[in-house]
Structure 1
Amino acid sequence: MIFMTVICTNGFSRPNTDPTASQQRTSILVLNLMPNKQGTEDQIISLFEETNLPIALTFMYPKSHVWRHGDQADLAENYVSLDDISDQYFDGLLVTGAPLEKLDFDDVDFWSEFNAIRDWSQTHTTTQLFTCWSAQAALYTDFRLPKINLEDKIFGVFENQLLGTSLPQWFQIPQSRFSAVDRTDVLNCPAVSILGDNQATGPFILKANNQNTLYVLGHPEYNADTLSTEYYRDLEKHQPVKAPENISLTAPQFAYAHWRCCSRYLYQEWVKQSFLLKENNSHEQKQLQF
């Protein structure tokens, strides 16, 4: 039974008003960079609920960014900023993607704050999970691995084609991005390991060898219809877009059932290891095992 395994200390979706409810739960701070805050909240909450683990979520925003898809005052009221929680500690930090792939990092209006949050997270969170744009941003911040801009969008569901990693070869994840990291650059960086790779997408799941950090160049939280919704949205805007690969627009649930299992496994193992590292109280000595 997965009833009430996840509570939210704040947010737009369903904040819990009981101040004691988050005790004895794995505390996850979510830096939500997606334009549709509540929609992304719902996706993340739903996926965490499927892990059947006791979790407390706190939603965060970059204070230096102007949210153009909603009311900034409402965002400040329902989310925390780094200033609000700078003296607090969390078991995990989850950072979402953002539709910023075509911008240089220095042109992102909250880039300085992103770096400040990344620095803070290394001493105030036990593990970190960066997804899509934030994964590429963190790879650049942590290891100076450059973001490669692409003319054609990586769009669809792609599986791991590597043998001999901790992730199974059939591991799948949705992708929706105009950028990538170069495989050769990663292989020349001994501090990073590739856990998931695909000839069409390049490396899409990476691990820092001496940090408890995962970099996932994709959207494990996506629902069955998210890719098709993005496709039809871009068509309506008369943008050049191809149909997402390896998924049916009319029957996405078949592909979704597979990648949802993979996404649940990813979240579940990350949360479990965050908890174990906290219990051992030695994340500097014990590393994330993926």
Structure 2
Amino acid sequence: MPIRIPDQLPAQDVLLGENIFTMESDRAANQDIRPLEVGILNLMPNKIETEVQLLRLLSNTPLQINVDLIRIDNQAPKNTPQSHMDAFYHDFSQVADKKYDGLIVTGAPLALLNYEDVNYWASMTTILEWAQRHVNSTLYLCWAAHAAMYHFHGVMRELKKEKFSGVFEHQVLDPNNELLRGFDPTFFAPHSRYGHIDTSVYNSIDGLNVVASSQEVGAYVVASEDKRMVFVTGHPEYDPDTLKDEYLRDLQSGQTPKVPANYFQHDNPNEPPMVRWRSHGSLLFTNWLNYFVYQTTPYDLNQLAEKPQPKR
């Protein structure tokens, strides 16, 4: 798929090394088609790593996609050079008047903070409301999924004493939902979170349906019936070593984390990870782009209708 990303973005070399076709701005401008406009609000501290993970998943479709990387504030990011942010990211104010076919809002390492105590919570709620008017379909990942549930539906997540960390088996609950088209009845996906919302809570809200879940960690994919919002509580974008890196980081900081479940061979951190989620993660993003974005978005984005306010 020709995915159009900013010229000189470091992710370009990584993706080309994986034989993933990217397209620079000059070439894309000469194609006589209407590309999809997709924004990525990247809340993760290691921006570059997250960019590669998400752009890889957006690449498995024949659609041309223009990607805007968006930052929520001007605070110096942890683990990412300021020069990278200045070169490749848009301040939200720069894109506030633009309309998007799709928006991805990443997770964030904020699990133990109350939402109102997050430094950028006011900006976050502004963007959540903006997306209702300016985005055809929004995909919320992990922390962002719970934050959106809190903002739109007043649902407060429960914080578990022990982190859900590992690769868990999931079941397809609604095989007719287009997000899960091509999925096996059972599949694996990574989780790394303390927050939890019971499946019954999601299903009690008009217009929301849990379409995939795990007996161990609960709801995984929740979709609105109008396809305008998708909540994914795990991390289908994770690289093979991401959970390992998180585990080692926590050990080095003096914590006593549990070994990520069902992840290392024989549950031994000295052995390699078992990678069992990447095909379904890729398929989830491809289905979202095709059925929830491309097939529902207006050709003229100026005709995008405002989504009615959710009922609390």
How would you bin the TM-score normalised by the shorter chain?
A: 0.7 to 0.9
Which of 127, 136, 156 is the matching residue for 1:126?
136
Rounded Cα–Cα distance in structure 2 between residues aligned with 1:88 and 1:68: 28
Q: CA deviation at 1:161?
A: 3.0
**Aligned in 2, Cα 1:41/1:162: closer, same or farther, shift over 3 Å?**
closer
Shift of residue 146 of structure 1?
1.2
Q: Deviations over 1:209-238 (max 9, x none)?
A: 345110000111111111112112212222
Equivalent-residue separation in structure 2 for 1:80 and 1:29 (angstroms): 10
Structure 1 match to 2:252: 236
- Alignment partners' CA distance in 2, 1:30 and 1:285: 20
For 1:149-228, list aligned pairs within 5 A. Answer: 149-161=159-171, 163-165=173-175, 166=177, 167=180, 168=183, 169-210=185-226, 212-228=228-244
**Structure 1 stretch displaced more, 106-115 or 75-84:** 75-84
Q: Is contact 1:32-1:60 (8 Å) kept?
A: yes
Aligned to 1:16: 24
- Compared CA separation, residues 49 and 88, structure 1 to 2 (3 A): same
**C-alpha displacement of 1:280:** 6.8
Aligned mates of 1:219, 1:194 — CA distance in 2: 17
> CA 1:190/1:27 → structure 2, altered by over 3 Å: closer, same or farther?
same
Asked if structure 1 preserves the Cα contact closer than 8 Å seen for 2:4 and 2:25, the reply is no
CA 214–95 in structure 1, closer or farther in 2 if over 3 Å, else same = same
Please say which of residues 20-29 and 169-178 is displaced more in the overlay.
Answer: 20-29
Between 259-268 and 12-21, report the one with greater CA deviation.
12-21
Deviates more, 1:16-25 or 1:143-152: 16-25
Percent of aligned positions that are identical: 29
Q: 1:193 to 1:161 in 2, by over 3 A?
A: same
For 2:305 and 2:99, locate their aligned partners in 1 and report how far apart those are by CA, in whole Å: 15
Query: In structure 2, do the counterparts of structure 1 residues 32 and 194 end up closer, same or farther at CA, with 3 Å as the change threshold?
Result: same
Correspondence 1:55-94 to 2 at 5 A = 55-63=65-73, 65-72=75-82, 74-94=84-104
Which runs of 5 or more residues in structure 2 are unaligned? 13-22, 308-312
**Cα 1:278/1:265, change in 2 over 3 Å:** same
Contact 2:133 2:305 in 1 (8 A): no
8 Å contact kept, 1:220–1:263: yes
CA contact (8 A) 2:134 2:304 kept: no
Structure 1 residues 17 and 279, CA gap change in structure 2 (3 angstroms): closer
Q: What amino acid maps onto 2:65 in structure 1? A: I
Q: Which runs of 5+ in 1 are unaligned?
A: none
TM-score, normalising length from structure 1?
A: 0.87
271-280 vs 101-110, which moves further: 271-280
TM-score normalised by L of structure 2: 0.81
Moved over 4 A (4+): 71-74, 279-286
